[in-house]
Amino acid sequence: MIFSDLFQTSAPDVAVEIDHTHVAAARLSWRGSQAVISAHASEALPAGLVVPGLTALNVSDVAALSQIIASTLGQLGGGRPSRVSLVIPDTAAKVSLLKLEKVPAKSADLREIVRWQMKKTAPFPIEQAVLSISPGASSADGTSEFVVAIAREDVIHQYEQACLLAGAHAGLVDLSTFGVINSIMSGSSAPTGDWLLVHPTGTYLTLAVMRGNALLFFRNRGEEEGTLADLMHQTAMYYEDRLNGAGFARVLIAGGAHLPGGAETVRRLEDRLKVSVEAVDPRHAAGLQDRIGASAELLDVLAPLVGILMRERKAA
C-alpha cells in the first residue's frame, strides 16, 4: 500500500492529503503514549486543478497546487515541515489482489514476477508504472496473496513535486482509503473478524472488505460508473460466494456527507447487511487537542491523515 517505501529516518509528524476539492494537513503530537492531532488546516482547490485518474496527468498546474499546499502547511504553526506523509485519491492508482503459488526468496525477483503479472491488466505501459507490493491475506490452499497497487510514475511525481515546491519532501505516499483503514486498525477498538469499509467521496466510491487486518476485496467506482446499491450488491455476492463470508461483524463508513441519499441510504445498507453502520472516528487512534471541535466533516477529513501518520509511527 506504499508507493515510496524508503523509510529510514524518524517519522514525519505532518501529513498532507491532496484531493480533487481540497488540500488538508494535520500535525501529530504526543502526550505521553497518547497520539494527539495538535493542529489541522485545509484549503479549497479551484475546479480542474486536480483531476485524479489512472491514464492521464492529474494536476494541471503543479506550481499553483504547491502554493496552496504551502499555505495550508503554514496554518499548522510550529514551523514549516521539511518532510511530510502524502495521501492521494484512490483513483490515481489501480489496486489488485494477486495470488502466487510460489514466492521467490529475493524481493527483487518477487517484484519482477508481480510486474510481469500486472502487465496483463495495467491500463498503461507497465514500464511507466510505479509499483507497490504488500502482503495480503493468508490462504488455506498454500498460495500467497499480495496487495498490489500501480500508478503512472509521472502522476505520482506530480503530487510529490507539488509538495517539494512547497518545501516539504513526501517520504511516503499512500491512497486515501488505505489511510482510513490504517486509522481504523490503529484505534483502540479495531475490528476483528470480517468487516466492511464504505468510503464515498465527491468523485468516487470505494468498498474494502477486511478480515481482521487483511484486505480481501478492494473496488472503487467513479460517480458516473454505477450507484452504491450496484456496487454493494456486487461486493456482497463476491463476499458470500468467493470469500465464504458468513456476515460482517462491523460496517464502517468514512465520508458519510458524500453518501447519496444520506440517512436513507445508510438505513438500506443496514437492512441489506443486517448490521448497524458506524461512522469512522479517527479519535480512537489519535485524540484531538482540546481546542479542536470534532464535527463529522472534520473527522472524515482527518481519518486518512491520522491513518498514514500512525502507519509511519509503526514503520519507524
Are 129 and 157 in contact by the 8 Å Cβ rule? The answer is no
Phi, psi angles (nearest 5°) of residue 92 = -80, -10
For residue 65, pLDDT beyond 90: yes
pTM summary value: 0.92
For residue 1, pLDDT beyond 70: no
Q: How far is CA 50 from the centre of its chain?
A: 17
* Residue 221 amino acid letter: R
Q: What is the pLDDT of residue 263?
A: 80
Query: Would you put residue 262 in left (φ > 0), alpha (ψ -120 to 50) or beta?
Result: left
CA–CA separation, 237 vs 138, rounded Å? 21
Residue with cell 461486493: 235
CA–CA separation, 264 vs 270, rounded Å? 10
CA–CA separation, 294 vs 113, rounded Å? 46
Are 39 and 78 in contact by the 8 Å Cβ rule? The answer is yes
The DSSP annotation for 69-132 comes to HHHHHHTT-SS--SEEEEEE-GGGSEEEEEEESS--SSHHHHHHHHHHHHTTT-SS-GGGEEEE
Residue with cell 487483511: 214
With bands split at pLDDT 50, 70 and 90, how would you rate the model's confidence at 98? very high
Query: Strand 129-138 relative to strand 34-44: parallel, antiparallel, unpaired?
Result: unpaired
Strands (E), the chain: 14-18, 22-31, 34-44, 83-88, 94-100, 129-138, 144-152, 169-175, 194-200, 204-211, 214-222, 250-253, 277-279, 287-288
Are 149 and 132 in contact by the 8 Å Cβ rule? The answer is yes
pLDDT greater at residue 312 or residue 235? 235
Q: Where are the domains of the chain?
A: 94-150
**Which cell is 18 given?**
491532496
Mean pLDDT of 227-243: 87
For residue 108, pLDDT beyond 90: yes
**Which cell is 231 given?**
456496487
With bands split at pLDDT 50, 70 and 90, how would you rate the model's confidence at 173? very high
At the top level of CATH, which class does the domain 94-150 belong to? alpha beta
CA angle 64, 307, 300 (to 5 degrees): 70
Phi, psi angles (nearest 5°) of residue 15 = -125, 150
With bands split at pLDDT 50, 70 and 90, how would you rate the model's confidence at 148? very high
Q: What is the pLDDT of residue 29?
A: 94
With bands split at pLDDT 50, 70 and 90, how would you rate the model's confidence at 312? low
Cβ partners under 8 Å of residue 14, min gap 6: 25, 26, 27, 28, 73, 76, 81, 83, 84, 85, 168
